Amino acid sequence: MRPIQLIVLAALTVAPLTAQQQHPTAWDPAYLNRPDVRAALDHLERGFPKQVDEWIRIAQMPGKSGHEQQRAAYLRAEMEKAGLRVSSDSIGNVTGVRTGTGGGPTIVFAAHMDIVHSLATNTTVRRAGDTLHAPGIFDNSSSVANMLASIRALNAAKIVTKGDLVFVGTVQEELGLRGMAYWLAHNPKPDLLIAMDGGLGAVSYGALGIYWTRYRFKSAGSHTLRSRGQPTPVLAMADAVQRIYKLQPAPLPNGAVINVGQVHGGEIFNGIPQDLFFTVDLRSPDPVLLDSLDRMITRIAQEAATREKVLLVVEAEQKNGAGGTERMLAPARAHPLVQTAIDIQKQLNVDFGMPGAAEALATGSTDANIGVVMGIPSIAIGRSQGGDQHTLTEWAHWPSALQGTKLTLLLATTFGDGVKPVAPRFVP
């Protein structure tokens, strides 16, 4: 072990918990005095204008979920230029490994490449002062640029880590975290997972369970003139939707939310429709409540179909598991990964919002969700400040992306050095 590594290990020893320090952390401001870390941060600052230019280029590439090929090709090429061991899988994820010397944790940094907007959407970026405007500019083009800038800074400063740093550009995150789920199912389980997704500030360490289900009602149909008294899926669907909205679970963050987002069917004015459907978006961090409500909604739909003598077909579009309520996730909150990310942001003067705003959230809707449910210490960190994601008026505050990139770099070097603070076992 080189002398500089001995210094870092000593500097990052976790201090005993005090009344002021409720959670263990691996962060110590003295870490910023390490020459190679300082050099990496300086490289980020000098290269930030080019990083913003690259961010704009990425944002203007096609990125609709399932159509990330151009972004993936660009990410792969840049990772290869940086000397990473790069691969692409059958679903389209791009993985670049920066190999460590051994003996440290494997850390995955995941940034999803897709956006929700159609291929026909105009994604030309408009720059106005300190703000960038374009569909997809915030969610999640920023993180892809942050990832590449972090890799280049690590290389420029010749930083050596014990653990492998694994950078993954995931696909189809907006369709239910499909890329990350596939990646974790086909690769060795990492020690830490950090999703680069969201606004700077509160660190997400939980997983909001999300169930998307389509309830389809079918009948033989009939001409209007012969429709009196005939079974109709319209009544079944209307009855089911009305009863579903009468369900009143406790609200989030520890309860649930239910929304009927789509209602479709029928081809003509003058006939009983033969095929109608509605969709349910059900969300809760509580796995027991989530499954209970899912069964209840299905039962309501089945009872309505039976009563109207029509056929019900239940189509589960996705079922992303829930990580647990805040109480259930107490051990996860105590993992040093969470507090370290919070403390680094404070060091970087990140704005957490209104005084008293939460610094950590036992929820999340990012690639980190899959890791939380699997029991992997996982968090989601911010990329920049911004808003109106998933709309045509989406915007991002470009200067804050430098803070987001520095956060990524400092997490990579802190935990990549093999620091293993003592903490309660991570249990989702």
Report the distance separating Cα 362 and Cα 210, nearest Å: 15
Run of H or E including 85? strand 85-88
Residue 76 has pLDDT above 50, yes or no: yes
CATH 3.40.630.10 maps onto the chain at 3-207+324-416
CATH architecture, range 3-207+324-416: 3-Layer(aba) Sandwich (3.40)
pLDDT of residue 297: 98
Which of 416, 428, 381, 363 is closest to 166 using CA atoms?
A: 416
pLDDT of residue 354: 79
Run of H or E including 416? helix 401-416
| Amino acid at site 185 | A
Task: Tell me: cis bond preceding 146? Omega within 30 of 0 counts.
Answer: no
Which of 315, 327, 253 is closest to 285 using CA atoms?
A: 253
Report the distance separating Cα 57 and Cα 45, nearest Å: 19
Q: Which of these ranges, 96-110, 240-254, 345-359, has the smallest mean pLDDT?
A: 345-359
Over the stretch 351-385, which tens digit does the pLDDT of each residue have?
A: 988 788 899 999 999 999 999 999 999 999 999 99
Under 8 Å between Cβ of 252 and 284: yes
Run of H or E including 225? none
Instruction: Tell me the angle at which helices 233-245 and 287-308 cross, rounded to the nearest 10 degrees.
Output: 150
pTM of the model: 0.89
Which structure tokens are listed for 264? 């479709």
CA 53, 155, 40, 72 dihedral sign is positive
Under 8 Å between Cβ of 398 and 130: yes
CATH 3.30.70.360 maps onto the chain at 209-320
Which of 134, 117, 114 is closest to 60 using CA atoms?
A: 134
Task: Tell me: cis bond preceding 253? Omega within 30 of 0 counts.
Answer: yes
3-state secondary structure of 37: helix
Under 8 Å between Cβ of 91 and 178: yes
> 428 pLDDT band (50/70/90 cuts)?
very low
Over the stretch 261-291, which tens digit does the pLDDT of each residue have?
A: 999 999 999 999 999 999 999 999 999 999 9
Q: What is the CATH number of domain 209-320?
A: 3.30.70.360
Over the stretch 298-319, which tens digit does the pLDDT of each residue have?
A: 999 999 999 999 999 999 999 9
